[in-house]
Structure 1
């Protein structure tokens, strides 16, 4: 096998995100439910005898992006000397809370594990992926999930299919800046996965994103987006650390999109599983 093309890297939304505490080392303890959606980046990877390179088919990415770091990490962990040329067709916006970069890294790990014939299990890849970021193991495991701790406790869950309207304002938000804010609430009462699984979207109505008030302070345009949803009769919620916002969308709802903004709009469908689930043995 010399190449793998048109590999999907789906985004995610946080149906809720509660900050339930903080560890002594400063890391925040979270509870969240991650739902995969069909807004995807696409990767094309050619196997090379040696060396790593990347080509951006969409917006320019940082020189040392997560995909290159993932490839180097996989080489280092396995002693593999093979190389690859990675093309990224970036569609999911950055600094949106949609997990686009983390998903790219996960797809890269799954693809290179296959291209280089390494045979690592999904569990082994997820263990490596923790070094790249808290969200990367979720995409490796490939199922909608209840997530706790600092992102390391991942429990698969089933979600009923639904449509979402996702809006990304022009400006993004820096995750680290939000988590370091003094006004961030860090003592939300813990929920249980049992309560959530009994009625996932009913729980959505009761939950919230604890990062959202801080994000609104930092980005006034976010308030305009949230207000627009409310006018449309929808209940909006920021995903992750923002700045993208989403709402559950019923089939019979008619939405009038504003014409005088540079916001990105996308009607998305939740996914039952990652398109590459099964590419690494589930052990």
Structure 2
């Protein structure tokens, strides 16, 4: 299969912020002048359309492109407020008609139309067909975890699964990281998460109540003048790293207390 700059975003555990990462990372890349194809691969349980605030505009989905029912132009959603982002929804109901071959063909059609610098595939939580199909069409993956032990174990499992499916470049994003080590509680520190997952870390998204509020309103980090999210800088840093820039892990992220301790602190057994 022909491989473009495709990145699948996944985790073997739900509720870790995977779709939030996918949508805000796409937006951060677009603000850097990149063209981004954002594909919802949560088959039969789509949510990105709501998170992007475009649920009323969805008519077609990735399965329609794969089955040659519609053109790429008709399925892709764009907004004037987010130039550079081309969104392809997942089906509301999924009957299992995608294969690695027709999914790859569908992605090629979408990519031929919008000419993206990045294609971001937002998969479902778990190890179901969504992840397997996406892994067959991409060589890079971002695994999203929280610092909780159960999530870190799921991230380790995700890494093993992706390697087994031939994904070559694995990256880790820690979402919901408590910025004050004294409040971390029964959570792993950053270094320990890297050691346990054996995946290189590309970003940390701090614990941020404003981020959840933006998501509920169909907004992304930086789109609201009233709701200021500390996560915006985190996503901008991650986008810069994906673009090949060297950016320190916690660069300009507000609210960080004792950076060295945050790296070294962790669960004590």
Higher helix share: 2
Higher strand share: 1
Same fold (TM over 0.5): no
Larger Rg: 1
